[in-house]
Chains A and B, each alone.
Chain A
Amino acid sequence: MTELKYLLFLGCVIPYRLPSFEISTRRVLDKLGVELVEMPEFNCCGFPLDPVNHDMMLTLAARNLCLAEQQNLNIITLCNGCFGILNHVNKELKEDKKIKEKVNGYLKEIGMEFKGTITVKHLIHVLAEDVGFEKIKETVQKPLNQLRVAQHSGCHVVRPAKYIGFEDPENPTTLKKLIQVTGAKCLDYMDEPECCGAPIVGVNDKIPLQLAREKLDHIKAVGAQAMITCCPYCHIMYDLNQPRIERAFNEKFGIPVLHYPQLLGLAMGIAPEELALKDLRVDATKILNICS
């Protein structure tokens, strides 16, 4: 059996804007017997630097991977962006000698070396693959049978398939299955694998809002009572930005957006206060009423 012990790579955006994701994840993983080890130090995964300097991104990501190698622990990330970058760089450096040499040349200057001894997993991969659906099911005490939700896995946990290969990017089912374990019904809707647009916020704000609005429209059309995400950036687009989208397009959604561990936590019978449900921008009271 795989030892359920991981080094938590928290990333920047979760401590900056979404402690609710961290709080609910810690609570739920504790209940599942997953041990999280804190990183003694880390830096940004490198994601925001790829567009401006690829080598800089590779090196910053590799530095984090080296820190994990020193601890001899596999990494768990909660953010799709961190996962996408760290997993990609880890695999690329393991496979491509030339790039590894180049990056190690940079790292040598700070007394570090990438060896390629660990793996990187996202929360949903750890839950589906290492913890397993059976074990999760055992912890569900209050099945959410009355709840109908829609999932949004986001991009960097499924694409590009060449570096992730965990599931079919055209029809990602991991998050769906994780939702079904809680007893909630996961509804299909149009263009499920579509991007939230968050990575270009700051360069262009109009397009991401249009993309997010379209997704909320599709979700509303199938009658979902809530949306479930597993990435902080996607969550910001649909939850924090939902009132802004409603104003900009003169539409009303009122769709609560929950981090997956918040949904699982409710099914486990954990009190809503312990899952930081009050931190959500879109009021989730109606979800709590359906669940109780």
Chain B
Amino acid sequence: MAKIEKTPETKASEKMVVKSNEMDPRFKYEISEIPGAEKVMLCFQCGTCTADCPISRFDEFYRPRKLIRMTQLGLKDKLLSNDVIWLCSTCFTCIDHCPQDVGIASIVRALRNLTVERGRMPGIYKEQASNILKTGYAYVISDLRLKKRQEKGLPSLPKANLEGVAKLFDVTGFSKTLEKGEDAK
């Protein structure tokens, strides 16, 4: 007979115990005001999103179903300090498969945006945002590469309107967020 391996019991300290004083009952309403995240309360926890999520197969903590339930429960601080939310690869499989049309990836995006507003942003996003501000493009394209374009007979890359881009960073309030952001994972 095949030997059945016993799963080691999760230590009490590793279990996520939900405490009522950590729940912010207004959080789900706050989230449902954000475009794309309106249907957060319609999730009935079937778990299709997690079952079909490519990231969940390779990461033991990233579970979209769980993130939505935590949002419904109002575990705001736990969610907005958890680096796991940065693992969504925006493949949008969860959005297409959800039987309740919850828009899971958009809710994860909303959680990320709120985390950034609090001043936590992964370094890679900060770098790309600064690149856009400096050059108009997400990457700094070196003079050597621009010269190579010419050698290959490609038309020269237009210069972006940096004044316009910078103005938009200001009017959306993103410039200020960018200044205060400390690095998340």
Contacts and interface: CB of A to CB of B under 8 A. Distances in A.
Interface of A: 10, 12-13, 15-17, 19, 22-23, 26, 38-44, 47-56, 59-60, 63, 96, 99, 106-107, 109-110, 112, 155-156, 159-162, 169, 193-195, 197-204, 206-208, 210-211, 276
Interface in B89-123: 89-93, 95-96, 109-110, 112-113, 116, 121-123
A56 B157 contact: no
20 contacts: A10-B157, A15-B145, A23-B154, A43-B160, A48-B128, A49-B129, A53-B113, A53-B116, A54-B109, A55-B174, A56-B168, A99-B35, A155-B91, A159-B93, A161-B96, A199-B89, A200-B86, A200-B88, A202-B123, A207-B55
Given A15-B141, A19-B148, A51-B112, A199 B90 contact: yes
B32 interface: no
Across the A-B interface, the 7 shortest Cβ-Cβ residue pairs: A202-B124, A195-B91, A159-B92, A12-B137, A16-B139, A48-B128, A43-B136
A38 B155 contact: yes
Contact of B112 (A52, A197, A211): A52
A200 B87 contact: yes
A202 B136 contact: no
B132 A49 contact: yes
Contacts, number: 173
Nearest to B105: A160
B96 A169 contact: yes
Interface of B: 34-36, 54-55, 58-59, 86-93, 95-96, 109-110, 112-113, 116, 121-125, 128-129, 132, 136-139, 141, 145, 148-149, 152, 154-155, 157-161, 164-165, 167-169, 171-172, 174, 177, 185
Contacts of A112: 164
Nearest to B123: A202
A59 B174 CA distance: 11
Nearest to B111: A51
Contact of A52 (B90, B129, B152, B159): B129
A42 B113 CA distance: 25
A56 B164 contact: no
Contacts of A203: 86-87, 122, 124, 185
Given A99-B35, A109-B171, A48 B125 contact: yes
A15 to B, nearest CB: 5
Contacts of A55: 172, 174
A194 B185 CA distance: 25
Given A52-B116, A211-B54, 4 more contacts: A12-B141, A51-B113, A54-B113, A110-B164
A199 B160 CA distance: 24
B160 A41 contact: yes
Interface centre among A110, A162, A194 (most CB of B within 10 A): A110
Nearest to A210: B58
B54 A194 contact: yes
A85 B148 CA distance: 28
A24 to B, nearest CB: 11
A156 B110 CA distance: 19
